[in-house]
Structure 1
Amino acid sequence: MDIGNPLDFTGRVVLVTGGTKGIGAAIAGAFLDAGADVVVCGRNAPDTTPAVRGRAAVFVSADVRDPAAAVRLVDAAVERFGRLDVLVNNAGGSPDADAATVSPRFVERIVALNLLAPFYVAQAAHRVMRTQHGGGSVINIGSVSAHDPQPGTAAYTAAKAGLLALTKALALEWAPEVRVNHITTGLIRTESAAAVYGTDCGASVARVIPMERMAVPTDVARACLFLASGLSGYVNGADLAVHGGGEFPARYLAAKSADRQE
């Protein structure tokens, strides 16, 4: 990397799981724009891959919940570009489900996607990063649910809390060759999540956030650039909150609402 510009990723290789749409695509695009060679993965091939100024990400089909597939994914990236500098464990998510009636199969799949898969891909990436010049950086994309559970997210919350703990554990074991950090994301406006935020396109939701807007995928992407760059060379085991300050406490909102009604 050019020491004059710590956000120049020319010559570096980045792998983004779930990098074909939404937040993952924005992360892939940000690294492409910064000069990196980027590999994205998903279970199904997309019509197009993220591209910036004529440079496109390379797609590799992989179900990262499968340990063997995680190894093949990393091997494919290294075979194509010769090294792996940054892993962004972005693949994840869950529909809401009632904890009292949800099936064991559902719980297993959610935990596999949001906790076990990042572990498997990170293990495979570490085997490469630990021996190469410059080491590497692993960034786990988490959720505010790990800190502040919401109804209908029991399995997801448990998995994301585990991902945060996993980040801290790996940071202890893998430094100094490989830094491992975590991003706590809050409410993010994506195409797939638009319907969740109501008919007003999220305007009501934005009023409970100190920054007065929901995040957009590029907010998370820029945080990834920071954590992967030399600007954060001494940052390891950190939990970077990208949630606009969180949400105002319910008692505060209730009091303000009462004041308006008087």
Structure 2
Amino acid sequence: MSLVIDFAGKVVAVTGGGRGVGRGVVDAFLDAGAEVEFCGRSEPDGVPERDGRRASFRPVDVRDAAQNEAWIRDVAERHGRLDVLVNNVGGSPFGRFEAGSPRYFQAITEINFLSAAVATRAAFEPLRAAKGSVVNITSISARRPSPGTAVYGAAKAALESLTRSLAVEWAPEIRVNAVSSGLVHTESAADHYGTPEQYAEIARTIPRGRLADPAELGAVCVVLASPLSAHLTGAVIPVDGGGEWPAFLAHTPNADIVRQADRLPDSGGTPS
């Protein structure tokens, strides 16, 4: 098996590829030689290109099933194929669960789970013809308590469950995997993580000592969709720098040794 990843002649669709993690995914597949189509609700700040291949953007609200399905069909029809679908769109503001309205719960579920389910269903036929793959972007919030974003965490857990189920239901023609994202440094990092001092403290709760770069998640998506992962399906790959330091370590007899390496917050806490 060749260890060279080459997506020349392959078509990749990415939801929410205009910024943040999605932009990292778009850039990574362009670097790998793919023809990349991406969508979003607002015009991106520039459309990337590589060696004369320019990514194509389409304004789409993926919460609208009709728009979502129409975009997938259009991509497949214009190119005559679809090899990879990356369901990246997602997110949630912080807020207490009891303060959320039913409409708010529905909106968070639509953006983080149902949009991916709709896009994946719409992509079934072209992906089956290409023996392609789906990569879902999930979150560490799917696997650990997520106070302040409880519905978001639940929706991402649903997406991980869908990943594992479709990997079996659609085998052997289509592979379905997921990337579980930890904390990521994006354009909106300050809105999520606060001042530079707070940001630094949060970074110290990660064993690798920093937040991920969107390009790092994009690279994992490329590997998962490539022939190098030909027998990998139903997997949820964490890209989180080692997760989060267990709070109890701050209170053990060896806590000072850990702190001397500047690897454990004095408080012993981890952000939600």
How far residue 191 of structure 1 moved from its aligned partner, in angstroms, is: 1.2
User: Hey, what does 2:262 align to over in structure 1?
Assistant: none
User: Hey, what does 1:143 align to over in structure 2?
Assistant: 139
Whole-angstrom distance in 2 between the partners of 1:161 and 1:30 = 25
Give the secondary-structure state (helix, strand or coil) at the position aligned to 1:148.
coil
Aligned residue identity for 1:189: H
Q: 2:100 aligns with which of 102, 110, 124?
A: 102
Give a deviation string over 1:85-138, Cα, whole Å, max 9, x none. Answer: 0000000101011101111111100000101000000001112211x2x41100
Whole-angstrom distance in 2 between the partners of 1:259 and 1:39 = 46
User: Hey, what does 1:208 align to over in structure 2?
Assistant: 205
Give the secondary-structure state (helix, strand or coil) at the position aligned to 2:123.
helix
Change (3 A) 1:7 1:105: same
Aligned residue identity for 1:129: L
How far residue 9 of structure 1 moved from its aligned partner, in angstroms, is: 0.3
Give the secondary-structure state (helix, strand or coil) at the position aligned to 1:182.
strand
Give the secondary-structure state (helix, strand or coil) at the position aligned to 2:196.
coil
User: Hey, what does 2:15 align to over in structure 1?
Assistant: 17
Return 230-239 or 202-211, whichever deviates more: 202-211
> Paired residues, what number?
257
Whole-angstrom distance in 1 between the partners of 2:124 and 2:243 = 32
Change (3 A) 1:259 1:26: closer
Q: Is the 8 A contact 1:33 1:53 kept in 2?
A: no
Return 35-44 or 47-56, whichever deviates more: 47-56
Q: 2:185 aligns with which of 189, 201, 206?
A: 189
How far residue 210 of structure 1 moved from its aligned partner, in angstroms, is: 1.1
Return 35-44 or 248-257, whichever deviates more: 248-257
Query: Identity of counterpart residues, as a percentage?
Result: 48
Q: Is the 8 A contact 2:24 2:216 kept in 1?
A: no
Give the secondary-structure state (helix, strand or coil) at the position aligned to 1:100.
helix
Q: TM-score normalized by structure 1?
A: 0.93
Change (3 A) 1:259 1:211: closer
Aligned residue identity for 2:170: W
Whole-angstrom distance in 1 between the partners of 2:68 and 2:256 = 50
Give the secondary-structure state (helix, strand or coil) at the position aligned to 1:123.
helix
Aligned residue identity for 2:31: D
Q: Unpaired segments of 5 or more residues in structure 1?
A: none
Q: TM-score normalized by structure 2?
A: 0.89
Q: 2:35 aligns with which of 26, 31, 37?
A: 37
Change (3 A) 1:102 1:5: same
How far residue 22 of structure 1 moved from its aligned partner, in angstroms, is: 1.0
Give a deviation string over 1:178-221, Cα, whole Å, max 9, x none. Answer: 10001111010111123322322622112111111111101100
Q: 2:123 aligns with which of 95, 113, 125?
A: 125
Q: Is the 8 A contact 2:27 2:215 kept in 1?
A: no
Q: 2:158 aligns with which of 158, 162, 165?
A: 162
User: Hey, what does 2:269 align to over in structure 1?
Assistant: none
